[in-house]
Amino acid sequence: MNLGQQISSLRKKNKISQNELGKKVGTSGDIIGRYERNEVSPSIDVVIKIADILGVSIDYLVGKTDIELDNNILKRIVEIQKLPEEEKKSILFNLDAVLRDAKTRQAYS
């Protein structure tokens, strides 16, 4: 999916009109429509605002990844990244164990 299609799809998924998104971004609904039709490309500042409003990463919005990352998970990752190295290792060790167990349960269900 290209940027315009992503914006349109996510906007509709979030039940936001072009006009509403435009107001939140600081532009008009007509301009949002032009972005969605790929008639013009938004600036990086506008892309950042749209991603924030739609609750996705910039990578997902521009099609660099097909995984829609949850902003709450991203915030937790940032908090982990700020911790001292030993604490990060401990958290990641525990996280790996939980993920392994979840995958095992999923495989046997």
pLDDT tens figures, 65-95: 888 777 788 889 999 999 999 999 999 999 9
Provide the mean pLDDT of the chain. Answer: 94
Q: Which tokens sit at 51? A: 């991603």
Q: Residue 51's closest CA among 7, 99, 98?
A: 7
What is the pLDDT at residue 23?
A: 97
Domain spans of the chain, in order of start: 3-62, 71-108
- pLDDT per residue over 3-51, tens digit each? 999 999 999 999 999 999 999 999 999 999 999 999 999 999 999 999 9
Identify the architecture of domain 3-62 in CATH: Orthogonal Bundle (1.10)
**Is the pLDDT at 57 greater than 90, yes or no?**
no
Sign of CA dihedral 75, 77, 81, 87: positive
Q: Which residues are CB-neighbours of 5 under 8 A, at least 6 positions away?
A: 36
